[in-house]
Amino acid sequence: MARKGPDYAAPVRRILVSLLVLVLLAVFLFWQIDSPRAERMRAAFIDRFVPSFDWVMAPVTKLSRMVSGFQSYARLYEQNQELRRELQKMAAWKEAAVQLEQENAKLLAQNNVRIDPALTSVSGVVLTDSGTAFRQSVLLNVGARDGILDGWATMDGLGLVGRISGVGQTTSRVMLLTDPSSRIPVTILPSGQHALLTGDNTALPALDFIESPENLRPGDRVISSGDGGVFPPGLPVGQVALASDGRLRVRLAADYGRLEFLRVLRSHPAEQLSDTGLLIPPPPADFIGPPLPPLADMQAAGENSEAAAGAGDD
Amino acid sequence: MIDPARRRRFLGQALFVALFLAILFWRLLPLAPGRIGWPGPDLALCLVLVWVLRRPEQVPVATIAALFLIEDILLMRPIGLGAALAVIVTEAARKREPHWRELPFMVEWLRVATLLALMMVANRVLLAVFFLPLPPFGQVILQFIATIAAYPLVAGLAGWALGLPRGRAERDTRHR
């Protein structure tokens, strides 16, 4: 140690510490300059080390969930009453759902619709939390090995949860909709307006860039709009809610706080119409006017007219 | 044979690393993934400062840098920035540790709070300079308050359970 050594040890130590700080700041600058590469290295590091601690994480997680499950026994009576009330409401909803299902089947049969087969999914288990209160993300145990790509949408059983940001070989990180840097284009349904769902590290992400907020009401359905081409359109996100600060926010449909199994939707980018000029080909340059009919048509037309003339002779 | 003082130093360092990693893994456990709670105290930072102010020879600066670099990587923070700030803060504490040792605990607590506040401000200024997204100010303040509130608890626990009381280290070094 430096303090036991002779006189020159302290300055040497000071220089070494300054060098260490400089190296760390250089690492930070490298992250700042070549962010994609640094993030790939981070994903590779997490991929290498975090799954190997699964054996210690899984039992502790299970145990703490069991404890919290045990605590909920204390509220058993209240929960029972609550469930009875909800069951009564559900009976009415079930009737409505059956009617809607019949109507839906009828309409689908009339339209001969096939639901998009491109929308398949990969399921994964949540490995770790983000570990800090300032970022909202989870780590899944599926990765590039399972064909996961950056930007794919992730759902739990109920609604959109977030999108993939960062893929390792066997793990991938899901940035949740509540993360401060999450921006998702959405459509608000009865009015059909477009908006941007902006996470701000609160439980209810905000709606930005709404054209006419007076047309929205709390309770309107919010779905993903598919603008930008990465997200499939029509995934349920949640409901509009008016927050106490007067902003329009979204109460998320996904069961945040109990994300255990997530589905990553394989989405393929929609075909882009980049050049509208190709849709209507320009006429050939050497001839101005309506194009000539093809030769075969002209001959057939000639025969027809001859036949017609012959018929006229009789 | 291994020199007993050296062995004690090595064991203390191993214990410190194990505790730091345990705190980190506790934070990563998916207990309620997706729920947005209160930003709790930064226990790892408390632990490092407590240890540096009790047994500075057991926490070499390279260990601190490596551990905070791992924390930066796993917690999705800007890589290297948190580690650099932690090294600077612990070096500042380490330099003043012989003077602080004779003062009452309240003074140590106050000075640790000042150091942590400076660290928070430096972190925020650097993030702003590099146009990185800033965490919400209210939550950062909450975490700062929680960390300061947790410092005496960590110090007390370290003194009671791990045998790191204030003052004894002083006698150890004096009479060596």
Three-state DSSP state, A2: helix
* Residues A105, A126 within the same domain: no
Q: Tens digits of per-residue pLDDT, B125-169?
A: 999 999 888 888 888 999 999 999 999 999 999 888 877 777 544
Pick from B71, B100, B97, B102: which is nearest to B84 by CA?
Answer: B71
Task: Label residue B171 by pLDDT band (50, 70, 90).
Answer: very low
**A289 within domain boundaries:** no
A25 located within any domain: no
Please indicate if any CB of chain B lies within 8 Å of the CB of A201.
yes
Cβ of A129 within 8 Å of Cβ of B28? The answer is: yes
Whether B121 has a pLDDT exceeding 90, the answer reads yes
Kindly identify which residue of chain B lies nearest to residue A258, measuring between CA atoms: B32
CA–CA separation, A171 vs A139, rounded Å?
Answer: 7
Nearest CB among A25, A130, A201 relative to B139 is that of: A201
Residues of chain A contacting residue B143, judged by C-beta atoms under 8 Å apart: 133
Q: Do residues A197 and A252 share a domain? A: yes
Q: Which domain holds residue A239?
A: 119-265
Q: Are residues A234 and A227 in contact, defined by beta-carbon separation less than 8 angstroms?
A: no
Same domain for A94 and A123, yes or no, is no
CATH number at residue A221: 2.40.10.340
User: Which residues of chain B from 104 to 133 reach within 8 Å of chain A, CB to CB?
Assistant: 130, 132-133
Q: Is B135 helix (H, G, I), strand (E, B) or coil?
A: coil
Which positions in chain B touch A17 (Cβ < 8 Å)?
Answer: 61, 87, 91
Which of A78, A111, A144 is the last residue before a domain boundary?
A111
Query: Same structural domain for residues A107 and A123?
Result: no
Contact A258 B30 (CB under 8 A): no
Q: Is the dihedral of CA A41, A42, A43, A49 positive or negative?
A: positive
Name the more confident of B40 and A198. Answer: A198
pLDDT (tens digit per residue) in A196-224:
999 988 889 999 898 888 888 888 899 99
Q: What pLDDT is stored for residue A26 in this prediction? A: 94
B139/A45 touch (CB, cutoff 8 Å), yes or no:
no
Say which amino acid occupies A175.
M
- My answer on whether A103 and A129 are in the same domain is no
Report the gap between the CA of A77 and the closest CA in chain B (Å): 24
Task: Kindly state whether residues A245 and A123 are assigned to the same domain.
Answer: yes
Minimum-distance CB partner of A24 among B31, B65, B75 = B65
Statement to judge: residues A242 and A260 lie in one domain: yes
- Tell me, yes or no, whether A312 lies in a domain: no
* H/E segment holding residue A160: strand A160-167
Chain B residues with beta carbon closer than 8 angstroms to that of A178 = 34, 36
Same domain, A76 and A127: no
Residue B81 contacts A, CB cutoff 8 Å: yes
Closest residue on chain B to A38 (Cα): B79
Residue A2, pLDDT above cutoff 50: no
Domain match, A104 and A159 both: no
- State mean pLDDT over B11-16: 91
Q: Do B135 and A201 touch (CB under 8 A)?
A: yes
Q: Check residues A193 and B169 and name the one with the higher pLDDT.
A: A193
What pLDDT shows up at residue B119?
94
Share of chain A above pLDDT 70, in %: 80
Contact B34 A46 (CB under 8 A): no
pLDDT digits (tens, 9 = 90+) for A234-275: 888 999 998 888 889 999 988 888 888 898 988 766 555 566
pLDDT tens for each residue of B141-150: 999 999 999 9
Residue A126 domain-assigned (yes or no): yes
Q: B174 vs A169, which has greater pLDDT?
A: A169
Mean pLDDT of A158-185: 90
What pLDDT does residue B174 have? 42
Which long-range contacts does A210-216 make (Cβ < 8 Å, 24+ apart)?
A210/A248, A213/A248, A215/A191, A216/A188, A216/A191, A216/A240, A216/A248
Between A12-21, A69-78, A106-115, A116-125, the lowest mean confidence (pLDDT) is in: A106-115
Identify the residue with better confidence: A79 or A116. Answer: A79
Residue A170 shares a structural domain with residue A200: yes
8 Å CB contact of A131 and B81: no
Chain B residues whose CB is inside 8 A of the A255 CB are 34
Determine, yes or no, domain membership for A23.
Answer: no
Cross-chain CB nearest to A259 (options B34, B79, B135):
B34
User: What distances in angstroms separate CA A264 from CA A124, A141, A271, one per listed residue?
Assistant: 8, 11, 21
Residue that wins the pLDDT comparison between B122 and A107: B122
Among A245, A205, A203, CA closest to A222: A205
* Closest CB to A257 among B32, B83, B88: B32
- Give chain B's mean pLDDT: 86
Q: Which of B20, B24, B76, B134 to mutate to test binding with chain A, by most A CBs within 10 Å of its CB? A: B76
**Do A185 and A141 fall within a single domain?**
yes
What is the distance between the alpha carbons of residues A251 and A242, in angstroms, rounded to a whole number?
9
| Cβ contact, residue pair A24, B83, below 8 Å | yes
Quote the number of domains for chain A. 2
- A97 and A126 both lie in a single domain: no
Q: Which residues of B touch A10 (CB under 8 A)?
A: none
ipTM for this prediction: 0.86
Q: Does residue B170 register a pLDDT over 60?
A: no
Among A45, A80, A111, which residue terminates a domain?
A111
Closest residue in B to A50 (Cα) is B74
pLDDT reported for residue B16: 92
Which whole number is the average pLDDT over B71-86? 92
Q: Judge: A28–B78 Cβ closer than 8 Å, yes or no.
A: yes
Q: Quick check: B30 and A127 CB within 8 A?
A: yes
What mean pLDDT comes out for the span A109-120? 66
Domain boundary among A86, A111, A136: A111
Alpha carbon A167 to its chain centroid, in Å, reads 15
Residue numbers in A near B79 (CB within 8 A) = 27-28, 31, 38, 42
Most confidently modeled range among A55-59, B78-82, B94-98: B78-82
pLDDT at B47 over 90: yes
pTM, to two decimals: 0.76
